[in-house]
């Protein structure tokens, strides 16, 4: 697990953005899921850094990075960081929200991207339609509006097992990590504060513009509409393929890190 002393900071035009930069070789950027930070990749950073340069940012509003005080796009932040470091093109690996940042970035800044891996994500317009996920997000939204952090964290933890398992089916250390990271990000914000994030639009309509290799990696226990959206993405881009990690949900990198790392390294070696 990285320490505070491992962090570096990029002085963006709207505050400092934190990142880890380790290893050497071809560049891989790890983009974390919503509400957590780069430490969700703790099992991937050392495995990848053995043969690659790995950059793992805390995206704006998360972890040790600054909150927004003006409109922003996460894809612009990432492009700014890579240009600041004179780095790239990079393989972007994104989990959930990070997967959306990856696809947004390859569409907006194709010259900075060598390949894309999405996990638990498709493109920006994707919306879950299953009742379980919609009810869960409604509960989280209600808890957040009420300022009830513990209730929100209890609901957020249920994302890990997904709709077909219970919390008891998941390693408690994984649940503890995810909720601890989310608690830290929530502490940076206040209920009802302005959301300055700006969406990248028409991302699926533009998906055919993605010409670099693209891999989707999803837990087999994800809701069906997520798996369908990932398959649709891989058949729309020019060089897409899909991998399924059986027996896990939204965080295959945490629940089956060795299998996830093998899939990821095999993809990197194929480039």
Q: For residue 81, with 0-12 CB atoms within 10 Å meaning exposed, 13-18 middle and 19 or more buried, which class applies?
A: buried
Is 90 exceeded by the pLDDT of residue 107? Answer: yes
CA atoms in the 13 A half-sphere facing the CB of 32? 30
Q: What spatial distance separates the first Cα and last Cα of the chain, rounded to whole Å?
A: 28
The C-alpha atoms of residue 44 and residue 131 are separated, in whole angstroms, by 32
Instruction: Tell me how far the alpha carbon of residue 189 is from its chain's centroid.
Output: 19
Which regions of the chain does DSSP assign to beta strands (E)?
Answer: 8-12, 15-22, 27-31, 53-57, 90-95, 113-119, 213-219, 239-245
pLDDT at 129: 79
Interval 94-104: pLDDT, tens: 999 999 999 99
Residue at 223 is within a domain: yes
CATH of the domain at 20: 3.40.50.1820
Residue at 18 is within a domain: yes
The average pLDDT across 80-104 equals 96
pLDDT grade for 55, boundaries at 50, 70 and 90:
very high
The average pLDDT across 184-199 equals 91
Is 80 exceeded by the pLDDT of residue 255? Answer: yes
Interval 224-253: pLDDT, tens: 888 988 999 999 999 999 999 999 999 999
Interval 148-187: pLDDT, tens: 999 999 999 999 999 999 999 999 999 999 999 999 999 9
The average pLDDT across 66-77 equals 97
Is 80 exceeded by the pLDDT of residue 2? Answer: no
Total domain count for the chain? 1
Lowest mean pLDDT among 135-144, 163-172, 261-270: 135-144
Give backbone dihedrals phi and psi of 172, rounded to 5 degrees, phi first: -60, -25
In whole numbers, what is the pLDDT of the chain averaged over residues? Answer: 94
Residues spanned by the domain of 82:
4-128+192-270
Residue at 147 is within a domain: no
Residue at 8 is within a domain: yes
pLDDT grade for 4, boundaries at 50, 70 and 90:
low
* Structure tokens that stand for 233 in this block: 């993405």
pLDDT grade for 128, boundaries at 50, 70 and 90:
confident
The C-alpha atoms of residue 266 and residue 31 are separated, in whole angstroms, by 19
The C-alpha atoms of residue 218 and residue 253 are separated, in whole angstroms, by 10
């Amino acid at each position: 697990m990285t320490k505070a002393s491992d962090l570096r900071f990029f002085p963006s035009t709207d505050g400092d953005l934190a990142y880890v930069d380790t290893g050497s070789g071809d560049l891989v950027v790890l983009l974390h899921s919503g509400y957590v930070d780069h430490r969700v990749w703790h099992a991937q950073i050392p495995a990848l850094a053995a043969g690659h340069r790995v950059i793992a940012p805390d995206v704006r509003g998360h972890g040790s990075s600054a909150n927004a005080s003006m409109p922003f796009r996460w894809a612009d932040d990432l492009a700014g960081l890579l240009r600041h470091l004179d780095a790239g093109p990079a393989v972007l690996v994104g989990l959930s929200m990070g997967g959306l940042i990856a696809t947004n970035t390859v569409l907006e800044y194709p010259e900075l991207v060598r390949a894309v891996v999405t996990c638990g994500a498709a493109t920006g317009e994707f919306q879950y339609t299953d009742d379980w996920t919609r009810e869960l997000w409604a509960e989280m939204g209600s808890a957040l509006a009420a300022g009830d952090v513990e209730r929100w964290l209890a609901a957020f933890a249920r994302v890990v097992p997904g709709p077909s398992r219970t919390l008891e089916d998941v390693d408690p250390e994984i649940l503890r990590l995810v909720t601890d990271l989310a608690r830290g990000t929530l502490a940076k914000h206040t209920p009802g504060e302005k959301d300055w994030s700006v969406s990248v639009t028409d991302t699926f309509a533009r998906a055919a513009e993605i010409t670099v290799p693209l891999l989707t990696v999803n837990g087999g226990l994800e809701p069906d509409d997520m798996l369908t959206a990932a398959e649709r993405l891989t058949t729309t881009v020019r060089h897409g393929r899909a991998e399924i990690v059986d027996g896990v949900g939204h965080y295959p990198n945490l629940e089956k890190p060795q299998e996830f790392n093998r899939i990821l390294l095999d993809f990197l070696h194929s480039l």
